[in-house]
Structure 1
Amino acid sequence: MNENLIQHYPVVIVGGGQAGLSTSYHLRARGIDHLVFEKHKAMHSWQTQRWDNFCLVTPNWQCDLPGHSYAGPDPDGFMKKDEILAYLDGFRAVVEPPIREGVSVRRVTPRAEGGFHVSTTSGEVTADNVVVASGGYHEPIVPRMAERLPASIRQIQSADYRNADQLPEGGVLVVGSGQSGAQIAEDLHLAGRKVHLAVGNAPRCARFYRGRDVVAWLADMGYYEMSVDQHPLREGVRDNTNHYVTGRDGGRDIDLRKFALEGMELYGALRDYDGAGLVFDTGLAQALDDADRTYNGINAAIDKYIAENGIEAPAPSVYAPVWRPAGERGRLDLAASGISAIVWCIGFRPDFRWLDVPVFNGAGHPQHRRGVTQREGVYFIGLPWLHTWGSGRFGAVGRDAAHIVGHIAARAEGALQGSAA
């Protein structure tokens, strides 16, 4: 193929979600020509991979996409799915991105003369820079043991869950207690379904404490400005499971112990299927205790901040367990339990096989510093803890985009100066 006939762009962005469009916003502000490829529709995952009662777990005032801060009537509330989609539609209108929807990027390879060759389902282009804005949640994680479960059991992944009515009558096993697992278990529980929950090692936090949303306290304490380099876990924080809490019905705690009192069956982590029953770890009590320890620890840090700054606030408190398992069930007979469906909520793995550039570590994760890789011209954005807690959320992805675009602009300026010399 004659590359002289291929259209060239200074920047190609792969992914049309909030990260890709935030990058487009800052490129446009600097007058840098670019193109966005999105294999589905812009904001696809928000439209198609969220359940009907989904809402944000962070308050609306933290929604601060570039040029499109939340301006609605309820800054302390939590946008529901339809409101989120409307907010994102407004953001797209602000950005007016040069986007090609329904186009998949098949491969990105370096060019001998510099820059990159980008092969897509609609043709070929070349680019000086490639920004990977496709996120890190590509392939749902489902254990191989799922293949051995009876065909009568309906199995879906969290991204495909919409509501209780889509599942057959009977009990539902939710596997995983991170944000999605805990909230889907609650959604089913509130719909009157018999829920069995396999609890993992996810931590939890309070929704409100001492008169305010915990998020507001943590923002005042500077937690959301802490970079990955400053975090005690350093890059290990990127592997952390998010705390479970909810913004539903104005926001509240998710207390799995309370659900157990109301009839939800709790188990340890799911480990195997023995041909007739499900086998669980006997670590439920420890998992619940660890989650509560994190909950109380966050509140204690808020107590310390209030005391050190002489802030008037309601009295402190410590969560005390309202239920404890009376022994642990290591096995559940599927037939006897009446379980008709399983919702897998154990996360996703990234798939960057299309990016044929040496920017990955031994575990297949991109190596970068605030999205800037060691390979000139390759950038990542929108990943969890790319730089701060908000990097994968509406709150700080815009700042990360501005940083990356600044790097791209400086690189282009350097190239111009070099050619002039």
Structure 2
Amino acid sequence: MPTLDPTQALAAAAEASPPHHPVLVVGGGQAGLSVSHYLQQRGLGHLVLEKQQALHAWADARWDAFSLVTPNWQCKLPGHDYDGPEPHGFMTKPQILDYLAAFRAKVDPPLIEGVAVQRVTPRPEGGFRVQTSAGTCTADEVVVASGGYHRPIVPRLAERLPPGIVQVHSEQYRNPAQFPPGAVLVVGSGQSGAQIAEDLHLAGRKVLLAVGDAPRCARFYRGRDVVDWLADMGYYDMPVDQHPLREGVRDNTNHYVTGRDGGRDIDLRQFAAQGMELYGLLRGFDGERLLFEPGLTAALDQADRIYNGINAAIDKHIAAQGLEAPPASVYTPVWTPPAERSALPLAEAGLAAIVWCIGFEPDFAWVDAPVFNGRGHPVHQRGISPQPGLYFLGLPWLHTWGSGRFSGVARDALYLAEAIERRLRGGPALQAAGLGSPAKRDPLEVS
């Protein structure tokens, strides 16, 4: 029988008896660090694994002129409310990074960066076996806090476009100077698409925008930020099971608006009046022409109906409460499409680049548990999945509108930490499970 060298012997021993953690948190974004905060408060041993760097998405997947679209007072990470001089302002990208760096320092999580979780598998005896890029470990509880935006969506027609056209997804967009001279087509008019189109437009670039069904809202109305009004009306505390759309609200596109330069509306009609070219949904490419759905007028009209509808709800609230406020108003279009344009010949467009702003798909293939629906989204009740000990955190509308944002993730993280504590405190002896002792930060914990 061959003799193993010491390295092989250690590896074999680790495989036979891998390191164990009471709680393993997958993802070092604001969600993962938030649940770490509450687990530490409860003395529950845990480890946070992040395949890149903690909070990397805010530095790596946001353009240079990015700012929050929600006011700073809504930034309420655990133990780290915004306390700066502009509660009703909108943090810019550098300010967001400073805010998050301070949050990480406060939490001081038991974190290992640069380790990717490759497989999470329930064990027959309970708990989970977790394979990582640094080896294998086990855990009693696993919190999947890796978000829901994993795979950038780029349609197959992109493969057929001329190679001279630069193509990037919204997560790769940084600023207008990254593209060669010429027109830029932005595909998608959700929050990212509308703001990137605005960024290019303000820089003097020729912009073509393929408009989808994204709704819009006012930035300010009747003397206040619309977010302030909606907060007073209880919208941000509404749980998903009380929303008129129920879980269907998770599929909704976010309203486009901006916090740039102190905050303002994004009015695609105004952009068009200033020279931006608007089209309907991009539906194909025939080798010479980009083809669009003839639905631009309907999309703009629907966005305006939602805009005015939100304002009308605020009007009712003001009247019902007997509040003093500036007069009500109704948005009227400043531009209407002269005709629906169904095709754009590339030879005439002078197209230099395309920015795909049509979202992301989830990728939870590494979670080997029967907790997903036919679209690959986890099934859960406020983050608690049907698989005992498996949780999800940081997803849009996990519980409320703010679940995937700085405003609501703390509430969700606390709820899961309390659920985890109940399970673990009712389990084996705490000391035997390692509870109450801080998790080590040596990468050898995952071997």
Q: Same fold (TM over 0.5)?
A: yes
Shift of 1:385: 0.2
Q: Which amino acid aligns with 2:162?
A: P
CA–CA distance in 2 between the matches of 1:108 and 1:229? 29
Structure 2 residue 53 is matched with structure 1 residue 53: no
Q: What secondary structure, in the 3-state scheme, does the structure 2 residue paired with 1:87 have? A: helix
Pairwise CA RMSD: 1.3
Alignment partner of 1:393 out of 405, 409, 412:
405
1:168: which partner in 2? 180
Structure 2 residue 229 is matched with structure 1 residue 217: yes
Shift of 1:412: 1.0
1:244: which partner in 2? 256
CA–CA distance in 2 between the matches of 1:208 and 1:201? 22
Q: Which amino acid aligns with 1:413?
A: R
CA–CA distance in 2 between the matches of 1:117 and 1:48? 31
CA–CA distance in 2 between the matches of 1:359 and 1:417? 29
Shift of 1:414: 2.1
Q: What secondary structure, in the 3-state scheme, does the structure 2 residue paired with 1:404 have? A: helix
CA–CA distance in 1 between the matches of 2:33 and 2:425? 23
Equivalences for 1:129-144 in 2 at 5 Å? 129-144=141-156
CA–CA distance in 2 between the matches of 1:235 and 1:416? 36
Q: What secondary structure, in the 3-state scheme, does the structure 1 residue paired with 2:185 have? A: strand
CA–CA distance in 2 between the matches of 1:280 and 1:395? 37
Q: What secondary structure, in the 3-state scheme, does the structure 2 residue paired with 1:398 have? A: helix
Q: What secondary structure, in the 3-state scheme, does the structure 2 residue paired with 1:342 have? A: strand
Shift of 1:126: 0.5
Structure 2 residue 92 is matched with structure 1 residue 80: yes
1:316-345 deviation per Cα after TM superposition (whole angstroms, max 9, x unaligned): 000000000001100001121101100000
1:29: which partner in 2? 41
CA–CA distance in 1 between the matches of 2:158 and 2:143? 36
1:352-403 deviation per Cα after TM superposition (whole angstroms, max 9, x unaligned): 1111111111221100011001110000000000000000000010110000
1:43-92 deviation per Cα after TM superposition (whole angstroms, max 9, x unaligned): 01001000000000000000000010001010000000000000000000
Alignment partner of 2:82 out of 45, 64, 70:
70
Q: What secondary structure, in the 3-state scheme, does the structure 2 residue paired with 1:45 have? A: helix
Alignment partner of 2:419 out of 403, 407, 413:
407
Equivalences for 1:203-282 in 2 at 5 Å? 203-282=215-294
1:278-297 deviation per Cα after TM superposition (whole angstroms, max 9, x unaligned): 00000000000000000000
Shift of 1:223: 0.2
1:190: which partner in 2? 202
1:203-245 deviation per Cα after TM superposition (whole angstroms, max 9, x unaligned): 0000000000000000000000000000000000000000000
Structure 2 residue 166 is matched with structure 1 residue 149: no
CA–CA distance in 2 between the matches of 1:13 and 1:334? 48
Alignment partner of 1:177 out of 165, 182, 189:
189
Q: Which amino acid aligns with 1:358?
A: P
1:382: which partner in 2? 394
2:26: which partner in 1? 14
Structure 2 residue 316 is matched with structure 1 residue 316: no
CA–CA distance in 2 between the matches of 1:134 and 1:260? 38
CA–CA distance in 1 between the matches of 2:190 and 2:152? 14
Shift of 1:413: 1.9
CA–CA distance in 1 between the matches of 2:16 and 2:410? 35
CA–CA distance in 2 between the matches of 1:53 and 1:363? 33
2:125: which partner in 1? 113
Alignment partner of 2:380 out of 360, 364, 368:
368
**Any stretches of 5+ residues in structure 1 without a counterpart?**
none
2:439: which partner in 1? none
Q: Which amino acid aligns with 1:50?
A: R
CA–CA distance in 2 between the matches of 1:412 and 1:129? 9
Shift of 1:120: 0.6
Q: Which amino acid aligns with 1:97?
A: P
Q: What secondary structure, in the 3-state scheme, does the structure 2 residue paired with 1:296 have? A: helix
2:107: which partner in 1? 95
The alignment covers a number of residue pairs equal to 420
2:437: which partner in 1? none
Q: Which amino acid aligns with 2:279?
A: Y
Shift of 1:417: 8.6
1:297: which partner in 2? 309
Shift of 1:5: 3.1
Structure 2 residue 137 is matched with structure 1 residue 125: yes
Normalising to structure 2: TM-score of the pair? Answer: 0.93
Q: Which amino acid aligns with 1:360?
A: F
Q: Which amino acid aligns with 1:246?
A: T
Q: What secondary structure, in the 3-state scheme, does the structure 2 residue paired with 1:47 have? A: helix
Q: What secondary structure, in the 3-state scheme, does the structure 2 residue paired with 1:415 have? A: coil
CA–CA distance in 2 between the matches of 1:375 and 1:121? 24
Alignment partner of 1:329 out of 324, 332, 341:
341
CA–CA distance in 1 between the matches of 2:264 and 2:333? 17
CA–CA distance in 1 between the matches of 2:343 and 2:426? 63
Q: Which amino acid aligns with 1:393?
A: R
Q: Which amino acid aligns with 2:45?
A: D
CA–CA distance in 2 between the matches of 1:213 and 1:111? 50
Shift of 1:416: 4.1
Q: Which amino acid aligns with 1:181?
A: G
Q: What secondary structure, in the 3-state scheme, does the structure 2 residue paired with 1:304 have? A: helix
2:435: which partner in 1? none
Moved over 2 A (4+): 1-5
1:19-45 deviation per Cα after TM superposition (whole angstroms, max 9, x unaligned): 000010000000000001101000010
**Any stretches of 5+ residues in structure 2 without a counterpart?**
1-11, 431-447
